[in-house]
Amino acid sequence: MILVVDMNWKPESLGYYEFVMPILVVAEKLDNCAVKHYLEVSKKDLGRCNKVILSGTALRDKMFLSNSERFQWLKEMKKPVLGICAGMEIIGMVFEARLNQSLEIGMTAITSVKENPLFTEDFSAYSLHSIYVEASDWFEVLAQSTKCIQALKHKTKPIYGVLFHPEVRNQEIIKKFIEKIN
Amino acid sequence: MRLGVLFSGGKDSTLALQYASEKEEVACLITIISENKESYMFHTPNIDMSALQAEALALPRVTRCTKGKKEEELEDLEDAIAQATKQHRIEGVVTGAVESVYQTERVQRICNRLGLWCFNPLWKHDQKALLEELLEKGFRIIISGVFAYPLDETWLGKQIDTKMIDRLIELQMKYGLSPSGEGGEIETTVLDSPLFKKKIEILSSNVEYKGNAGVFTIEQARLVPK
Confidence of residue B178 (pLDDT cuts 50, 70, 90): confident
A25: exposed, middle or buried (Cβ count in 10 Å: 0-12, 13-18, 19+): middle
| Cβ proximity of B73 and B34 under 8 Å | yes
The residues with which B117 forms a beta bridge, in sequence order, are B92
Q: What residues make up the domain containing A122?
A: 2-180
Helix (H, G, I), strand (E, B) or coil at B189: strand
Active site residue A89: no
Chain centroid to CA A63: how far?
16
Chain centroid to CA A79: how far?
14
Number of C-beta neighbours around residue B149 at 10 A: 13
Per-residue pLDDT tens over the stretch B119-142: 999 999 988 999 999 999 999 999
| Cβ proximity of B40 and B104 under 8 Å | no
Q: Which residue has the higher pLDDT, B132 or B150?
A: B132
> Residues near B18 by Cβ (< 8 Å), separated by ≥ 6?
B137, B193, B194, B195
Question: What's the structural domain count of chain A?
Answer: 1
CA atoms of B6 and B80, how far apart (whole Å)? 10
- E strand intervals along B82-177: 92-94, 117-119, 140-146
Of A14, A107, A128, the CB nearest to B23: A14
Q: Using the predicted structure, report yes or no on whether residue B71 has a pLDDT greater than 80.
A: no
Parallel/antiparallel/unpaired status of strands B2-6 and B61-66: unpaired
Active site residue A85: yes
Helix (H, G, I), strand (E, B) or coil at B1: coil
CATH code, domain carrying A93: 3.40.50.880
Q: Which residue has the higher pLDDT, A43 or B70?
A: A43
Helix (H, G, I), strand (E, B) or coil at A1: coil
Which pLDDT score is estimated for B41? Answer: 62
Query: What's the whole-number mean pLDDT along residues B171-194?
Result: 89
CA atoms of B155 and B25, how far apart (whole Å)? 36
Q: Measuring CA to CA, how many Å separate A97 from each of A16, A27, A88, A156, B15?
A: 27, 28, 11, 15, 41
Which pLDDT score is estimated for B45? Answer: 77
B72-88 and B101-114 are packed helices; what angle lies between their axes, rounded to 10 degrees? 50
Q: Measuring CA to CA, how many Å separate A148 from each of A130, A135, A139, A163?
A: 11, 9, 14, 9
Q: Which CATH class is domain B2-119?
A: alpha beta
Query: Which segments in chain A show pLDDT lower than 70?
Result: none
CA atoms of B201 and A74, how far apart (whole Å)? 57
| Cβ proximity of A85 and A165 under 8 Å | yes
Q: Of the listed A18, A89, A104, A167, which one is catalytic?
A: A167
Q: Using the predicted structure, report yes or no on whether residue B183 has a pLDDT greater than 80.
A: no
Contacts of B124 in chain A (CB under 8 A): 21-22, 25, 167-168
* Alpha-carbon dihedral sign for residues A9, A10, A14, A16: positive
CA atoms of B183 and B99, how far apart (whole Å)? 9
Average pLDDT of the residues of chain B: 93
Chain centroid to CA B212: how far?
21
Q: Measuring CA to CA, how many Å separate A160 from each of A24, A67, A138, A174?
A: 18, 20, 12, 11
Contacts of A27 in chain B (CB under 8 A): none
- B2-119 and B142-224 in the same fold: no
> Residues near A41 by Cβ (< 8 Å), separated by ≥ 6?
A3, A5, A70, A73
Nearest to A61 by CA among B118, B106, B21, B96: B118
Question: Residue ranges of the domains in chain B?
Answer: 2-119, 142-224
User: How many angstroms away from the CA of B175 is the closest CA of chain A?
Assistant: 22
ipTM: 0.94
Which pLDDT score is estimated for B180? Answer: 81
Residue A57 contacts B where some CB pair is shorter than 8 Å:
no
Which pLDDT score is estimated for B13? Answer: 96
Which pLDDT score is estimated for B38? Answer: 65
Residues for chain B: how many in total? 226
Looking at chain B, the whole-number percentage of residues with pLDDT higher than 90 is 76
Domain B142-224 annotated CATH 3.90.1490.10: yes
Contacts of B92 in chain A (CB under 8 A): 60
Per-residue pLDDT tens over the stretch A45-80: 999 999 999 999 999 999 999 999 999 999 999 999
Number of C-beta neighbours around residue B220 at 10 A: 9
Confidence of residue B212 (pLDDT cuts 50, 70, 90): confident
Parallel/antiparallel/unpaired status of strands A51-54 and A2-6: parallel
By C-alpha distance, the chain B residue nearest A126 is B101
Kindly report whether the global pTM for this prediction surpasses the value 0.90.
yes
Confidence of residue B34 (pLDDT cuts 50, 70, 90): confident
